[in-house]
């Protein structure tokens, strides 16, 4: 049986899982692909850190040239993360005639088109299943199984770290710092977790999902992004009291041929399947015109779940090599990017305010809402004990322009402060 040699760049959470799975499932992969896969080298940044790691005959190096300059290595697996030098390594690998598998969503979301072009020019494969929702095979599913359907919306929990943090805070009453530190220890968080908690990691994944589902290419400034760092315990408790769970949701939806993409805390009805997704698990709901609602659930981060997605890409490349059909990248669906306007995006909202507890304040708030043509659906008021009250409103459906008008007017009031505003998702 012919051998395909593989070089892996990165031996952190995902790289370790890839090496383990390549070694453990060798026989099955050979049977499926008709090729023996051989791990030839592993490239790391700091060799000293890995002194205790036993890779047997496999060479460990801190020199990327060992991999790039070896023509016998046919597949490079990039699991080191960040933009530079990962982008340069992938470019050089493709130009040197290697196929590339990566888990790097930051890179694919921002430079995916350029890298796909380089892969095509060099007739090489480029796959990145692990870049979205870790262990859930969502990209290949959208690419293959939704090819003929018209997708209306892709929505879900696509960051494991934040879902893990919020689950621990709600169920075990851990502090934010304690939960984040645990997510880091478990290998879910990015090396710099800012992107996780500020919603950027989820935004990169939504950019990739939008490309697959709608064929439209977005940049980060096309996505409305809010993280979890400003969610307060009061927000969580009041949402709970009203029958909702707060989740960091990515939503990409087509509204009259225009696209709206956002990432932010959303109140999800406790009856909604997304409300039940706990810990580092992710879930992606894809709504198609023909099929209706579908939901894909599983671990969104972690060593072996993510490695499994990387291995599915490696296996695909190996099959393509065996069949002499390489030169494939993921989906080639392309549509002109047309963005929705703030008037297009319509949701009920949870709005929390602090205001002086004196006569007339509620009338002022009602007047602001009336001017924006928004009505209340539910309202709670709690005294803060310092002469102020915390008021929480669930509005009827309103658009982003109405929300912007309300936010501006509240900001102009004395004795009234907007504390939070989140979308509300009612039904499946
Ligand atoms: N962790 C997860 O659950 C998931 C991660 N991903 C993505 O997978 C990728 C890897 O993530 P993860 O394994 O968590 O990251 P880690 O931080 O755990 O590991 C990164 C690895 O890359 C190596 N590395 C960093 N810079 C270089 C360099 N210049 N040259 C060679 N090696 C380098 C590091 O080397 P050294 O050890 O010597 O410092 C380390 O071994 C990222 O793109 C991430 O977004 C995707 C899905 C899930
Ligand atoms: N940091 C990411 C890892 C997977 O993409 C997450 O927590 O989801």
Which residues fall within 8 angstroms of residue 174, CB to CB, at 6 or more apart? Answer: 168, 182
Query: What's the whole-number average pLDDT of the chain?
Result: 97
If you count them, how many residues does the chain have? 428
Confidence class of residue 15 from pLDDT cuts 50, 70 and 90?
very high
Cα(370) to centroid of ligand 1, in Å?
51
Feature table: binding site: 9-16, 105, 190
Taking CA atoms only, the protein residue closest to ligand 1 atom 17 is 191
CA distance 154 to 214: 9
Residues of the chain with pLDDT > 70, as a percent, come to 100
Assess whether the C-beta atom of 306 lies below 6 angstroms from ligand 1.
yes
Position 296 pLDDT exceeds 80? yes
Q: What does the pLDDT average to over 166-189? A: 95
**Of ligand 2's atoms, which has the minimum distance to the CA of residue 158?**
8
DSSP 8-state secondary structure symbol assigned to residue 276: G
pLDDT given at position 360: 96
Q: pLDDT digit string (tens) for 213-236?
A: 999 999 999 999 999 999 999 999
Question: Of the ligands numbered here, which is closest to the C-alpha atom of 198?
Answer: 2
pLDDT score, position 332: 86
Q: Is 44 in the pocket of ligand 1 (CB under 6 A)?
A: yes
Query: For the residues 272-292, what does the mean pLDDT come to?
Result: 98
Q: Where are the domains of the chain?
A: 3-134+303-323, 138-299, 346-425
Report whether residue 160 contacts ligand 2, using a CB cutoff of 6 Å: yes
The pLDDT value recorded for residue 196 is 98
Mean pLDDT of the region 303-315: 98
Strand ranges of the sheet holding 59-61, from the earlier edge strand across to the other edge: 59-61, 36-43, 3-9, 73-78, 99-102, 126-127
Per-residue pLDDT averaged across 74-84, rounded? 98
CATH number of the 3-134+303-323 domain: 3.40.50.720
Take residue 2 and report the two structure tokens written for it. 């012919």
In this prediction the pTM is 0.98
Name the residues annotated as catalytic: 205
Report the atom number in ligand 2 closest to the C-alpha of 130.
5
Q: How far apart are CA 180 and CA 175, in angstroms?
A: 9
Q: What would the mean pLDDT of 233-259 be, rounded to a whole number?
A: 96
Residue 385 predicted with pLDDT over 90: yes
CA distance linking residue 97 with residue 72, whole number of Å: 10
189 lines ligand 2 (CB under 6 A): yes
Is pLDDT of 428 > 60? no
Check pLDDT > 90 for residue 392: yes
pLDDT digits (tens, 9 = 90+) for 350-369: 999 999 999 999 999 999 99
pLDDT at residue 84 greater than cutoff 70: yes
Identify the CATH assignment for 346-425 out of 1.10.150.120, 3.40.50.300, 3.30.1280.10, 3.30.70.260: 3.30.70.260
Local structure of residue 330 (DSSP, 8 states): S
Please give the annotated binding residues for NADPH, written as ranges: 105
Q: Provide the pLDDT confidence category of residue 331 given band limits of 50, 70 and 90.
A: confident
106, 199, 228, 301: residue to mutate for ligand 2 pocket, most atoms within 8 A of CB? 301
| Same fold? 3-134+303-323, 138-299 | no
Q: How far is CA 37 from CA 5, 77, 311, 341, in A?
A: 6, 13, 11, 50
At residue 379, the pLDDT reads 95
CATH tag, 138-299: 3.30.360.10
């Amino acid at each position: 049986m012919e051998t395909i040699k593989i070089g892996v760049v990165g031996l952190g959470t995902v790289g370790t899982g890839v090496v383990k799975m390549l070694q453990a499932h060798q026989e099955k992969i050979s049977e499926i692909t008709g090729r023996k896969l051989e791990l030839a080298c592993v490239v790391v940044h700091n060799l000293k850190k890995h002194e205790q790691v036993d890779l047997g005959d496999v060479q460990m190096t801190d020199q990327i040239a060992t991999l790039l300059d070896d023509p016998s290595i046919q597949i490079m697996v990039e699991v080191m993360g960040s933009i530079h030098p990962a982008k340069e390594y992938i470019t050089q690998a493709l130009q040197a005639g290697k196929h590339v598998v990566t888990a790097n969503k930051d890179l694919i979301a921002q430079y995916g088109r350029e890298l796909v072009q380089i892969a095509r020019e060099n007739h090489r494969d480029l796959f990145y299943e692990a870049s979205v929702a870790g262990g859930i095979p969502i990209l290949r599913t959208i690419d293959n199984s939704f090819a003929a359907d018209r997708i209306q919306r892709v929505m879900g929990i696509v960051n494991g770290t934040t879902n893990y943090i919020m689950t621990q805070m709600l169920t075990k009453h851990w502090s934010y710092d304690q939960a984040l530190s645990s997510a880091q220890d478990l290998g879910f968080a990015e090396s710099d977790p800012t992107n996780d908690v500020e919603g950027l990691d989820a935004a990169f994944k939504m950019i990739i999902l939008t490309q697959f589902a709608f064929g439209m290419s977005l940049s980060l400034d096309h996505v409305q992004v809010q993280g979890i760092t400003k969610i307060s315990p009061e927000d969580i408790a009041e949402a709970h009291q009203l029958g909702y769970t707060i989740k960091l949701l990515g939503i990409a939806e087509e509204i009259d041929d225009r696209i709206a993409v956002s990432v932010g805390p959303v109140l999800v009805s406790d009856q909604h399947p997304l409300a039940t997704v706990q810990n580092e698990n992710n879930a992606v709901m894809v709504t198609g015109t023909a099929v209706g609602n579908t939901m894909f659930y599983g671990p969104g981060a972690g060593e072996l779940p993510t490695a499994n997605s990387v291995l599915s890409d490696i296996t695909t490349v190996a099959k393509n090599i065996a069949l002499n059909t390489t030169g494939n990248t993921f989906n080639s669906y392309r549509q002109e990017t047309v963005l929705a306007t703030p008037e297009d995006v319509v949701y009920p909202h949870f709005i929390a305010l602090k205001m002086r507890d004196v006569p007339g304040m509620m009338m002022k708030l009602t007047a602001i809402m009336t001017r924006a043509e928004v009505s209340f659906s539910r309202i709670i008021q709690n005294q803060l004990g310092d002469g102020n009250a915390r008021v929480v409103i669930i509005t009827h459906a309103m658009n982003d322009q109405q929300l912007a008008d309300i936010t501006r007017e509240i900001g102009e009031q004395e004795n009234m402060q907007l504390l939070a505003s989140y979308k509300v998702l009612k039904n499946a």
